Amino acid sequence: MDGGRGEISAQLAVIARDVVVSVAAADYLAMKGATVEGTLLRRMLTVEHRDRFTREVMETFRARFGVVVEFTRDFRLGIGTKA
């Protein structure tokens, strides 16, 4: 026994993938607004300044990326069995 837990025999496979994520620009900005930085901006700016900032960022995103923002995310998936 190993500290009362016993021995564990396991098989584990880890899969790594890069995935292209497509998100509407408005949804992407909403996700960013839910971060710590977004919270700080909400606290620091008046409602008028925050609305203007949000509008200008949305216009800039749409001009640069179109209505959809695409980015690559990596993820790891572990699949295992315990014998």
Amino acid at 67: V
How many Å apart are CA 53 and CA 22, to the nearest integer? Answer: 23
Check: CB of residue 50 under 8 Å from CB of residue 41.
yes
Q: What digits encode the pLDDT tens for the residues 41-72?
A: 889 999 999 999 989 999 998 898 888 989 99
Over residues 28-47, the mean pLDDT reads 91
**pTM exceeds cut of 0.85:** no
Instruction: Give the mean pLDDT of 29-43.
Output: 90
Whole-number pLDDT of residue 44: 93
